[in-house]
Amino acid sequence: MNRLDPRVQLLWVASAAVSALVVGGVLFAVVAFLSPPFLPSWTPYAAAALVFLLGAATAVARYRSWGYEVREDSLYLERGVFTRVRTVVPFVRIQHVDSSRGPIERVVGLASTVVYTAGSRGADVSVPGLTADGADELRERLKRLAIRSEGDDAV
Amino acid sequence: MAARRLSPLSVPYRVLQRGGSIVAALAFMLATGGFSLPFAGLAGPLVLVGLASLAAAVFVGYEYAYFRRFAYELTADTFDIESGVFARRNREIPLRRIQNVDISRNVVQRAVGIAAVSFETAGGGDTEASLRFVSFEEAKRLQRELGRLKRGASADADGESSEPDARVLFELDRRELAILGALSFDFRVPGVLFVFFSGALTFVTSFLPEGLGPLLVVVGVFVLLLLGVLASWVAGAAVAVVNYYDFRLVRSADELQYQRGLLQRYDGSIPFDKVQTLTIADNPLKRWAGYATLLVETAGYAPGQGDSSRGSEAAVPVARRERIERLVEDIEPVGTPEFERPPKRTRRRYFGRYCIVIGAAAAALYGANAVFGQFLAWYAPLALLPVAAVAAHYKWKHRGYWLGENHVVTRNGVLKRETKVVPYYRIQTVIDTRTIFQRRLGLASVTVDTAGSLSIGGQDAAAVDIDAEDADALRGELESRLRIAVAAHRRGRVGMGVEDEVDVAESVESAEGGSGEGSMEDGDDADPFVWGETRDDATEDARRGDDGPPDDAGR
């Protein structure tokens, strides 16, 4: 079972920080402008800290739960902290494969590989937290396997 | 085959269709204020008539040009359309990508003998190409011809003579139509009525004498509710009857054809090898009466459905259960499913879930009492506990999955029970989910994703709450059965359960010859024989044709 690059935790912790900032900011605005009596002035900070801590803990747990494997005939993914999800994508069903790098991913030097099938949950299958080369390599490998599985009639 | 044109009748029809509203507007102007155009004086009507004839001339000219420019041609492996008056467009649609060919005719079109033809491809509610309008015979010919070309029968040059042996699978008789109408409710009607009458309500109440007391209000509300239900029932029945009048399902060589409709007549085809999922749906009422509904799902979209993209319309709206089962057996030889139910501990889980709901209701009532004073017995919902126990049992009882020879069958739901038949060959991905609560009980849900259009609403076939170890096994099993099904398909089987058309032994040989010892490295430049071999029907189909939008269709 392959693990993700540990740096992906940074990415997820960073996104937890963003949501913490948003929650804190909204609460801060509420306290500052509306000052409802039931919200003490420290709530924004406490809420932001709580969101951040929970998010960071989830990020670490998520990293630990993530794994993928290129099997003989299929791609197998395992992930999820609260709900464990295991996905099997047979190579015969792969329509196309992307590797993508978002702006924040680029800062950390990471990339994802996204696998598309014709199924109604097609774009659900993506492997985040790969190095840029790793993502390209996985994409190439999956592409070759997908093409090969077409010609491979062995039962 | 030379390029063909639309029916000449399409010109006047389109002119009237598109120009009709403008003519009406002009006539209205003429009849009311038109006579006093400020600057034209007495010549006003003449000016208007002149304008109208100019507009009519423009319309006729445009439609005639459209007709002149429009040419289509069905070649051996593409459907070509050349069209456009100002912007010109040439399109070639590979036949393999076409899922359904649908013909629709409304009353007027039926009277003059023309029809609109739509070609559906996979990937959502977008019609790839449509012909407005050709003669009905031509439409049927296209439908037939396309099916024949896709079968690859064009090779045996006896062409036209090979009329597919059509066999009527199903006809909705009068009684079933009546039952369908009786069971149909259109609950959009009360909403419309409410909007319509909400203004009138205050008007009516102003006439009522003051102080009639709450009794009248209660009676009034009750009567209104009754009227609402009645109205939606009548509307639902009318819609159902209009939609499904004279419904029939015909099986030809390897296509399913349906016809339905009273005012607007639909006439569609579904190739068997595009069928993704079969769903048998029922509810307690239908179960009790021994009726069910069948939905045939493809990756395309259904005509005449507007925005509600509810999969394919080759649905049998209502029929006796045995008949539905025979029909399923006819389309996909499934066998008799023996469902494996989830372990009994799941009943506890459902009961717990209902208890939480009941508890929440009781708590809410208790809270309301505390705030507004005693007016409700907060413990009343607790009386529902026995009901919850029964409901939990039934929920468990109606769940299950079964692995057949060529299909996986799943069943879920009590009030809206759906039994889904998924050919192994149609599996796209297998997803195994386990929530915290499921893990505590050692349970898991396995979802079988297909390219069907119904599943977009999250109604995939799923074995819900099965034992975690069974789920692991099921996952592996489904994967390997897909592999076997794909291999079998390549050996010449058409679709899933359909009989072999090619001598299996012979094609196995050639398939094995073709597969080579392809290692992981030789990848995309595998030996040319493989490419030559795989680029024909079966595998191309497996890769893209039937399973959804091809890579370039824009994701």
Residue B213 confidence (pLDDT): 66
| CB spacing of A151 vs B518 below 8 angstroms | yes
User: Tell me, what's the pLDDT at B394?
Assistant: 93
User: Residue B166: CB partners within 8 Å, gap ≥ 6?
Assistant: B250, B251, B252, B257
Q: A69 to each of A155, B299, B484, how far by Cα in Å?
A: 21, 29, 21
What is the pLDDT, as a whole number, of residue B155? 44
Residues near A65 by Cβ (< 8 Å), separated by ≥ 6? A78, A79, A80, A81, A84
User: Is B339:B401 a contact under the CB 8 Å cutoff?
Assistant: yes
Render pLDDT for B442-454 as a digit per residue (tens, 0 to 9). 999 999 988 765 5
Phi and psi torsions of B365, nearest 5°? -60, -45
Rounded CA-CA distance B500/B143 in Å is 24
Q: Which of residues 501-530 of B touch A (CB under 8 A)?
A: 511-512, 514-516, 518, 520, 522-524, 526, 530
Contact assessment for residue B548 and residue B298, using Cβ atoms and an 8 Å cutoff: no
pLDDT tens digits, residue range A39-90? 788 888 999 999 999 999 999 999 999 999 999 889 999 999 999 999 999 9
- How many alpha carbons fall within 13 Å on the CB side of residue B202? 3
Sign, CA dihedral B35-B36-B42-B47, equals: negative
Q: What is the mean pLDDT of residues B43-67?
A: 81
Position B234, amino acid: V
H or E segment to which residue B322 belongs: helix B321-331
Residue B422 sits at the vertex; the CA angle it makes with B456 and A149, to the nearest 5 degrees, is 90
Q: How far is A144 from chain B (nearest CA, A)?
A: 5
Enumerate residues 6+ apart whose C-beta is below 8 A from B278.
B294, B295, B296, B297, B328, B331, B332, B420, B421
* Residue contact A117–B551, C-beta within 8 A: no
Please report residues of B whose CB lies closer than 8 A to that of A85.
Answer: 431-434
Q: How far is CA B334 from CA A87, B118, B420, B504, B507, in A?
A: 26, 31, 11, 21, 25
According to DSSP, the residues that pair with A67 across neighbouring strands are: A78
Residue B32's pLDDT is 66
pLDDT tens profile B332-348: 888 889 999 999 999 99
The model's pTM: 0.73
pLDDT surpassing 80 at residue B159 = no
The number of beta carbons lying within 10 Å of the beta carbon of residue B263 is 11
Comparing C-alpha atoms, which of B93, B98, B68 is closest to residue B80? B93
Chain B 342-361, residues with CB within 8 Å of chain A CB atoms: none
Opening angle at CA A120, ends B493 and B426, nearest 5:
15
What phi-psi label fits residue B505: left (phi over 0), alpha (psi between -120 and 50 degrees) or beta?
alpha
Residues paired with residue B57 on neighbouring β-strands, in sequence order: none
The one-letter code for the residue type at B462 is: A
For residue B510, pLDDT beyond 70: no
Q: Is the ipTM of this complex over 0.90?
A: no
The DSSP letter of residue B496 is S
Query: CA-to-CA distance for B118 and B134, rounded, in angstroms?
Result: 11
Q: In what order do the strands lie in the sheet with B255-260?
A: B127-135, B114-121, B98-105, B265-271, B255-260, B248-252, B167-171
Q: Where are the alpha helices (DSSP H) in B96-213?
A: 107-112, 136-151, 174-183, 188-205
Give the whole-angstrom CA distance, residue B327 versus residue B224. Answer: 42
Half-sphere exposure of B12 (CA within 13 A, CB side): 6
Interface mutation vs chain A, best among B426, B429, B490, most A CBs within 10 Å: B429
> Coil, strand, or helix at residue B460?
coil
- For B544, name the nearest residue in chain A, comparing CA atoms only: A95
> Residue B428 is nearest to which of A85, A117, A143, comparing CB atoms?
A117
Nearby residues of A17 by Cβ (< 8 Å), 6 or more positions away: A52, A55
Out of B5-9, B191-195, B269-273, B322-326, pick the least confident: B191-195
Question: Is-contact B240 B180, C-beta < 8 A?
Answer: yes
Share above pLDDT 70 across residues of chain B, in percent, rounded to a whole number: 72
Residue matched to tokens 């002119």 = B15
Task: Select from A93, A97, A140 the residue whose CB has the most chain B CBs within 10 Å, as the one to mutate to test that interface.
Answer: A93
Quote the Cα angle for B431-B436-B442, to 5°.
75
What residues pair up with B89 in beta bridges, in sequence order? B83
The pLDDT of B77-92, averaged and rounded, is 87
| Cis preceding linkage at B185, omega within 30 | no
Of B210, B231, B315, B209, give the one whose Cα is nearest residue B268.
B315
pLDDT band with cut points at 50, 70 and 90 for residue B208: low
What is the DSSP code (8-state) at residue B483? H
